[in-house]
A and B are shown apart, each in its own frame.
Chain A
Amino acid sequence: MPIIQIEELSKLYGFGDATTVALDEVSLTIEKGEFIAVMGPSGSGKTTLMNILGLLDRPTHGTYTLNGRNISKLSKNRQAKVRRDNIGFIFQSFNLLPKLTILENVALPLAYKGTRQTKRLKAAARVLEQVGLSDRDSYLPGQLSGGQLQRAAIARALVNNPSIIIADEPTGNLDSVSARVVMELLSEVHKLGNTVLMVTHNPSLTRYADRIIYMLDGGVVYDEASAVGEIPGRVQKAITALRLSDDDDKLATVSAMMETIPDISKTPEAEDPKKKRKTVRQKRKARKQKKAKK
């Protein structure tokens, strides 16, 4: 039985002429133990899909089956409980509570489950040991580095034994060394049998995944298996080709770009804004001169 099965899932924002289609009848099946990388430019619907899969949002149409149970029409409170028991989130900006210690942060999901304090702190300590942060458990988040924070966040996502871990650009705020440590950890978590769904802008990170989904305009464009440790050439080509139109994505994958398109900096659009600015300045100058004459 697949862990997650979504069928013709759509998400619309607004209504009438102003309707935006964020997800357009997406169907997807996720099996236990998969490590899926979701790629796509901004506005392609990745985040919306993650939010719906993570039960933070609900679809406009379509069905969402988690562990064989249709949960697309659950009440908010029930959704929260399913989220608590089945989903582990890892965010780009870590999202640990700054006033709680690392240990308390990791234990937080269990608090909402009603686990007793001693028991949940023990469980949190065990997971922290797995991610190699035992010696930092009484620190506040402000006292740790980004890489350590993200490892703590991974521990928090794991503490519930969730059915699926959803990571939204987990390395987006990290330097390359910390990013590698975090990805290795996620990879290890995957090898232990956990299901991981990761959104990323960085094609080089797809080497940790065993399945890659590429999204565009609210739909899945490519969905293919890939061996762990490889970046499928087809995906990479598609990415680099489509990336040209998007400034944000250029920045996010600049290293990947440099390899494939060495002359990216010479694109003609780059000069346009400068020209415009000059003309504005000239106009102003002209106006001032006019005033002076008067």
Chain B
Amino acid sequence: MISEYFKMALQSIRSARFRSGLTMFGIIVGVSSVVTIVSLGQGVKQQITAQSGEVGDSLVVVRPGKKTQARAISFDSLRNFSGGAGSLSEKDWQSTEKIPGVTAVAPVGTISGIATYEKKEYTGSIIASTANLPVFLNQDIEFGQFFTAADSSKKVAVIGRDVAERLFEENVPIGKKLTIRGVDYVVGGVFEQQNSGTFAAINVNSAIFLPYESAKEISTSIQILQLFVAAESPESVAKVSSDIRTTLIANHAGQEDFAVLEKEEALEATNEVFYQLTVFIAGVAFISFIVGGIGIMNIMFATVSERTKEIGIRKAVGATNRQILGQFVMEAVVLSLVGGLLGIVVSLLANGIIRVTTDLQPVTTLLVVLIVFGLSVITGIISGFLPAAQAARKDPITALR
């Protein structure tokens, strides 16, 4: 009988196309905006997750500070973190490297300073690291190459896209020299544009990377803000991180003023933002479904009183109250469902346009589609029930008059 109701609903919706379209409009707008925003969020999240590079799930990050502090972190807060108690030392880095199961370690040290080139100045982050760094970043070098282990005491720099464009005002400033603290560094490589977000609090676009040993010559106080550690395999991550913890506690005279984070935890800062965004979107979705649902209910009430005669006829030929109820509820459900589906189509189109015109890569997951589907059905049932009950209650004699 449900398929019968469905056919009847389609029939009456088709016979009032314009009105049905208007009725669905609220749902279409609500669904398409919500799905688009969710897809954008998903896309950004996936891009960020993908940035842990070759190391992928075997990543462990060590940061100074208590675990709770270390999670929600930004580069600025890392930089402002005073070099006193709790910062990571070179000793920590070296002893981490010796832990069995660790395949690579890359420190992220920072030097305060301004880069200059032909009297132009650039304030970005100056990061001292080793040749291991690229395996932790999912970021390709566009021109030149990242410094190798052999370059560790040479005066070479690898810069981000923004640095090239702002400081050198050209795309390929390879071989040009920039000056930091009076020392010249030759640009050896330029990173590709980092599309969105940051991974592990590094904005590659505005960063200048120097080899650790050579950076030590210009600054005696390199603050190690993070240690990127690669474990042998994702399975060994737990053991490696607990080993790092014991080793570092010994280094820090029994104090645990640092945090060892596995990949998921390192991304938690990002997750937190997305969680709040998701709650907000859910609120918007809820409101748009309520508004759309009220629109449907409104039209259904109008339809019911307009089709009084039809209801009378259907009852006269033997429709039960329940069948009339089912038919009208189904009509509301179909309206809202079609609205939901059209909304998804609209948002897919919007996503396509966003992909083409911007760097963002929105991703619409099946889960989102299913949730919208379910919400549409529920909205239809709720908003269709009262009008349908009114239709079912109609007295056939009065209705036929």
Contacts and interface: CB of A to CB of B under 8 A. Distances in A.
Contact of B309 (A81, A89, A95, A113): A95
B4 interface: yes
A111 interface: yes
A273 to B, nearest CB: 28
A114 B1 contact: yes
Contacts of A241: none
A108 B323 CA distance: 13
B218 interface: no
A259 B1 CA distance: 55
B11 A112 contact: no
Interface residues of A, number: 28
B252 interface: no
A227 interface: no
Contacts of A51: 397
Contacts of B312: 95
Interface residues of B, number: 24
Interface in B4-38: 4, 7-8, 11-12, 15
Nearest to B318: A84
A132 B322 CA distance: 35
Interface in B286-329: 309-310, 312-323
Nearest to B5: A111
Given A56-B396, A56-B397, A77-B322, A156 B317 contact: yes
B250 interface: no
A99 B11 contact: yes
Given A95-B316, A108-B314, A76 B400 contact: no
Contacts of B320: 76-77, 80-81, 112
A80 B310 contact: no
A214 interface: no
A217 interface: no
Contacts of A85: 318
A145 to B, nearest CB: 20
A57 interface: yes
A208 interface: no
Given A51-B397, A95-B309, A95-B400, A111 B4 contact: yes
A73 B119 CA distance: 101
B396 to A, nearest CB: 5
A95 B317 CA distance: 10
A57 B316 contact: no
Contacts of A112: 314, 317-320, 323
Interface string A156-169: 10001000000000
The residue in B1, B4, B309, B318 that gathers the most chain A C-beta atoms within 10 A of its C-beta is B318
Interface in A79-110: 80-81, 83-85, 87, 89, 91, 95-97, 99-100, 108-109
B12 A99 contact: yes
Contacts of A160: 318
A78 B4 CA distance: 20
A109 B397 contact: no
B304 to A, nearest CB: 15
Interface string A168-207: 0000000000000000000000000000000000000000
A156 B313 CA distance: 11
A174 B335 CA distance: 39
A109 B321 contact: no
A77 B321 contact: yes
B14 to A, nearest CB: 9
A96 B317 CA distance: 11
Contacts of A89: 316-317
Nearest to B312: A95
Nearest to B323: A112
A117 B12 CA distance: 17
B88 to A, nearest CB: 74
A95 B313 contact: yes
Contacts of B11: 99-100
A99 B8 CA distance: 11
Interface in A203-233: none
Contacts of B4: 111, 114
B383 to A, nearest CB: 23
A12 B175 CA distance: 106
A169 B309 CA distance: 18
A294 to B, nearest CB: 50
Contacts of A83: 316, 318
A252 to B, nearest CB: 18
A99 B314 CA distance: 13
A216 to B, nearest CB: 22
Contacts of A81: 318, 320
A89 B315 CA distance: 11
B397 A80 contact: no
A268 to B, nearest CB: 34
A202 B320 CA distance: 34
Nearest to B310: A97
The residue in A56, A91, A156 that gathers the most chain B C-beta atoms within 10 A of its C-beta is A56
B15 A99 contact: yes
A109 B318 contact: yes
Contacts of B318: 80-81, 83-85, 87, 109, 112-113, 160
10 contacts: A84-B318, A91-B400, A97-B313, A99-B12, A99-B15, A109-B318, A111-B4, A112-B318, A112-B319, A112-B323
Interface of A: 51, 54, 56-57, 76-77, 80-81, 83-85, 87, 89, 91, 95-97, 99-100, 108-109, 111-114, 117, 156, 160
Given A85-B318, A114-B1, 16 more contacts: A76-B321, A77-B322, A80-B315, A80-B318, A80-B320, A83-B318, A84-B319, A91-B400, A95-B309, A96-B313, A109-B317, A111-B8, A112-B318, A112-B323, A113-B318, A117-B7
Closest 7 A-B residue pairs measured CB to CB?
Answer: A84-B318, A80-B320, A109-B317, A99-B15, A77-B320, A112-B319, A56-B396
Interface of B: 1, 4, 7-8, 11-12, 15, 309-310, 312-323, 396-397, 400
